[in-house]
Structure 1
Amino acid sequence: MPRLDTISRFLISVGIILCSAVGASAQDRRQNAPGEFDFYVLSLSWSPSFCEAASERGNNGRGTQAQCGGRPYSFVVHGLWPQYERGFPEYCQRPSPRLARSIMSSMLDLMPAPGLIYNEWDKHGTCSGLGERAYFEAIRKARATVKIPEEFLQLSEPKTVAPDELETAFIKVNPGLSNSAISVTCDSKRLSEVRICLSKDLQFHSCEEIDRRACRRDQVLMPPVRGG
């Protein structure tokens, strides 16, 4: 009987390994293949949190200065990220096609740091299956799809907010957006980002895995907009 029990456990273990391998190979068949993904995540970073955290770390590099100078940024675009239902591709072309400086400059109103724009193209844009100009046009269209609640456009004082309350505010002003298509991320105390899932044609899209990685704090701090 002990021998049979050992054999049974061994066979079960082999079965689990084989099933895992099959699942991995199914993912690997399109892993990092440009254009082969399920949906996008539009990531909107709360710029005052980014700048406050950078200051605490002593990070005053040129990229940080570009975003964290005197201009009153609120939500800025971190990126538009191709996603699988489980996991995501990245760096789908090595080396990546060089991004034209004129395209980078044209995006500074939404993504106020040149280094961020170049990195987003290398890491995420190359996975979209789009050319450089079309990818950044998609970012602009995706951003235009999402309305920011008015109370967060000119935040003049620190605000403490529950992540659920923030999601509800976005859902209220964006018809068709549900709480299964939006998540809030945070660091140890501050709001970091609002992430909204969009289909390839930039319609709101349910994304359970993104929601599972959401902030679990009861409340988060939103530092005020600079100059507010």
Structure 2
Amino acid sequence: MALILLLALVATPAQAQSYQCRAPSSLSAPAERKPTSEPRRIKPVTAYTMALSWSPEFCRTRKDSPRDRTQCSGDDGSFAFILHGLWPETRGPAYPQWCAPTRPLPAAVVRRNFCMMPSMKMMAHEWAKHGTCMTERPETYFRVSRIMFDAVRFPDMDRLSRKPLTAGQFRNAFAAANDGVTPDMVRLKVNVRGWLQEVKLCLGQSFRPQRCPVYMRAVNADSPVKIWRGG
């Protein structure tokens, strides 16, 4: 029911997160198989996490990586925040995953969502591991993901990158940019050198922002955070 209600909404105009993005002419997203090391968990979905990856940091050491060419080479666009995934959650840390086997993603789905998630392998993985626990059709999963991604407003990352910054200050800035979001609804992923890798926004069953659960690890509010601008 939550998916149906969300799809009835009209998304607000997207804040540009990609520049001169163009889907490559050759598109292929083969079906992702569940690793033997990971269990299939079919559980009631009670919440969601939207994971937003800071692409300049991810691509910092991957510009020449064939595996990450579409996101990092610059040939298909230059990216700021991209969608890592929209993940269904349940009560407790053992979230639903790998709920059903999948087929290769339709080329139209890959092309339509490339500028949001500029990796065909990641699209296939996110659909197989997470999307199958939300809906039966990849078109629905990616349409919902796109509505949620387009609704997010990001703080001025260039300005934040040029001054001393803590995790608490970044969460405050992110919350201030988005109506209805408070800092306790935001989690950060920071690498061991203190560089921002990812922002996670906690969502309720109706896809509205909510306080993150206590078991979701939070970076200490006083911890320094650096933002790589690329280059």
TM tier, shorter chain? 0.7 to 0.9
**Could you tell me which of 141, 152, 168 is aligned with 1:146?**
152
* Structure 1 residue 169, shift from structure 2 partner: 0.6
Per-residue displacement from partner, 1:170-225 (whole Å, max 9, x unpaired)? 11111111122111111112111100012233211222236x41234711221114
Preserved contact between residue 156 and residue 225 of structure 1 (Cα < 8 Å): no
Preserved contact between residue 38 and residue 84 of structure 1 (Cα < 8 Å): yes
In 1, the alpha carbon distance for the partners of 2:125 and 2:223 equals 32
In 2, the alpha carbon distance for the partners of 1:99 and 1:180 equals 35
**Gapped regions of structure 2 (runs ≥ 5):** 1-39
Q: Which residue of 2 aligns with 1:204?
A: 209
2:73 aligned with 1:66: no
Q: Which residue of 1 aligns with 2:122?
A: 116
Tell me which amino acid in the other structure corresponds to 2:41.
N
In 2, the alpha carbon distance for the partners of 1:49 and 1:206 equals 26
**Gapped regions of structure 1 (runs ≥ 5):** 1-30
Preserved contact between residue 105 and residue 114 of structure 1 (Cα < 8 Å): no
**Could you tell me which of 161, 167, 181 is aligned with 1:163?**
167
Greater CA deviation, 136-145 or 64-73?
A: 64-73
Preserved contact between residue 57 and residue 230 of structure 2 (Cα < 8 Å): no
Preserved contact between residue 74 and residue 225 of structure 1 (Cα < 8 Å): no
In 1, the alpha carbon distance for the partners of 2:126 and 2:192 equals 25
In 2, the alpha carbon distance for the partners of 1:148 and 1:141 equals 15
Per-residue displacement from partner, 1:113-140 (whole Å, max 9, x unpaired)? 1111111101111111342111101101
**Could you tell me which of 75, 81, 98 is aligned with 1:75?**
81
Q: Which residue of 2 aligns with 1:89?
A: 96
**Inter-CA distance 160–51: structure 2 relative to 1 (3 Å threshold):** farther
Per-residue displacement from partner, 1:7-65 (whole Å, max 9, x unpaired)? xxxxxxxxxxxxxxxxxxxxxxxx7327x21111110001011112446xxx7123x11
Q: Which residue of 1 aligns with 2:176?
A: 172
In 1, the alpha carbon distance for the partners of 2:89 and 2:210 equals 12
Preserved contact between residue 77 and residue 111 of structure 1 (Cα < 8 Å): yes
Task: Give identity over the alignment, percent.
Answer: 27
> How many residues are treated as equivalent by the alignment?
187
Q: Which residue of 2 aligns with 1:8?
A: none
What TM-score do you get using the length of structure 2 for normalisation? 0.73
* Structure 1 residue 155, shift from structure 2 partner: 6.6
Tell me which amino acid in the other structure corresponds to 2:170.
L
Computing the radius of gyration from Cα coordinates, the structure with the larger value is 1
* Structure 1 residue 141, shift from structure 2 partner: 0.9
In 2, the alpha carbon distance for the partners of 1:140 and 1:175 equals 18
**Could you tell me which of 32, 37, 46 is aligned with 2:41?**
32
**Inter-CA distance 60–155: structure 2 relative to 1 (3 Å threshold):** farther
SS in 2 for 1:66: helix
Q: Which residue of 2 aligns with 1:224?
A: 229
Report the aligned-residue RMSD.
2.3
Structure 1 or 2: larger helix share?
Answer: 1
Q: Which residue of 1 aligns with 2:190?
A: 186
**Inter-CA distance 194–156: structure 2 relative to 1 (3 Å threshold):** closer
In 1, the alpha carbon distance for the partners of 2:174 and 2:160 equals 19
SS in 2 for 1:141: helix
SS in 1 for 2:78: coil
In 2, the alpha carbon distance for the partners of 1:114 and 1:32 equals 24
**Could you tell me which of 109, 125, 147 is aligned with 2:131?**
125
In 2, the alpha carbon distance for the partners of 1:178 and 1:72 equals 29
